[in-house]
A and B are shown apart, each in its own frame.
Chain A
Amino acid sequence: MRAVLLGGTTGIGRAIARQLAERGESVFLMGLDDDDLARSAADLTARHPRGEKVGYARCNLEQPDGFAAALDAADAALGDFDAVVVTAAMFATQEALEADVELTRRLVTVNYANTVVFCEHARKRLLPRKGRLTVFSSVAGDRGRKPVAIYGSSKGGVAVYLEALDHKFHAAGLSVLCVKPGFVKTGMTAGLKPPPFAGEPEQVARDVIRAMDRRQALLYTPGIWRLVMMVIRMLPRFVMRKIGF
Chain B
Amino acid sequence: MTAHATPVAEPAPPRAEALAATAATPAPTLSGWGRLPAPGREIFSESLESATRGAVLSRGLARSYGDASLPAHAADKVVNATMANRVLAFDEATGVIRVEAGVSLVELNRLFMPRGFFTPVTPGTKFVTVGGMVASDVHGKNHHVEGCFGAHVRSLRMRLADDSVVTCGPDENADLFDATVGGMGLLGHILEVEFTLHRIPSQWVWMESERVPDIDAFLAALAKSAPQWPMTMGWIDCLTRGRSMGRGILMAGRWATAEEAPPTPPRLGPQITLPFELPNWVLNPVTASLFNTAYYWRHLRQHAKQVVSPEPFFYPLDAVLHWNRGYGPRGFTQYQCVVPRAAGAPAVREFMELLTRLGGASPLCVIKDCGDEGRGMLSFPLSGMSIAVDMAVSPDVQNIVDKLNEFIIAAGGRIYLTKDRFTRPEHFRAMEPRLDRFLATREKYDPQRRLRSALSVRLFGDRA
Contact = CB atoms under 8 A, between A and B. Distances in A.
Size category of the B interface is: 35 or more
Contacts of A46: 87-90, 97, 111
Interface string B1-36: 111111111110011011111110100000000000
A62 B11 contact: yes
Contact of B46 (A34, A60, A91, A187): A187
Contacts of A47: 87, 111
B6 A66 contact: yes
Nearest to A97: B18
13 contacts: A14-B46, A32-B11, A33-B10, A42-B89, A43-B88, A47-B111, A60-B11, A73-B3, A73-B5, A93-B21, A97-B18, A103-B18, A187-B44
A42 B88 contact: yes
B83 A55 contact: no
A70 B2 CA distance: 11
A141 B273 CA distance: 34
Contacts of B23: 191-192
A58 B6 CA distance: 7
Given A73-B4, A77-B1, A192-B23, A39 B88 contact: yes
Contact of A57 (B5, B14, B20, B44): B5
A76 B3 contact: yes
A60 B90 CA distance: 30
Contact of A190 (B25, B44, B90): B44
A156 B435 CA distance: 60
A33 B19 CA distance: 22
A53 interface: yes
Q: Kindly name the residue among B1, B10, B43, B45 whose own CB sees the greatest number of chain A CB atoms within 10 A.
A: B1
Given A36-B47, A91-B15, A92-B14, A57 B88 contact: no
A6 B308 CA distance: 43
B126 interface: no
A61 B35 CA distance: 44
Size category of the A interface is: 35 or more
Nearest to B100: A39
A106 B19 contact: no
Contact of B86 (A43, A53, A77, A190): A43
A39 B87 CA distance: 8
B17 A96 contact: yes
A151 B21 CA distance: 16
A60 B86 contact: no
Q: Kindly name the residue among B22, B46, B47 whose own CB sees the greatest number of chain A CB atoms within 10 A.
A: B46
Nearest to A103: B14
Nearest to A99: B21
B15 A192 contact: no
Contacts of B1: 53, 55, 77
Nearest to A30: B5
A65 interface: yes
Contacts of A36: 47
Given A190-B45, A193-B25, A90 B15 contact: yes
A119 interface: no
B25 to A, nearest CB: 6
A58 B14 contact: no
A135 interface: no
B299 to A, nearest CB: 37
B83 to A, nearest CB: 6
A63 B4 CA distance: 14
Given A32-B11, A59-B5, A96-B17, 15 more contacts: A38-B2, A39-B100, A43-B86, A56-B2, A58-B5, A58-B8, A63-B8, A69-B5, A73-B3, A91-B18, A92-B18, A93-B21, A190-B44, A190-B83, A193-B25
A184 interface: no
B14 A96 contact: yes
B10 A60 contact: yes
B19 A192 contact: yes
A191 B20 contact: yes
B87 A95 contact: no
Contacts of B87: 42-43, 46-47
A40 interface: yes
A66 B5 contact: yes
B218 to A, nearest CB: 42
Contacts of B6: 58, 63, 65-66, 69
B10 A32 contact: yes
Given A33-B10, A43-B86, A107-B14, A190 B19 contact: yes
A160 interface: no
Contacts of A96: 14, 17-18, 21
A204 B78 CA distance: 28
Given A58-B7, A191-B19, A40 B2 contact: no
Nearest to A96: B18
Interface in B37-64: 43-47
A55 B46 contact: no
A192 B28 CA distance: 12
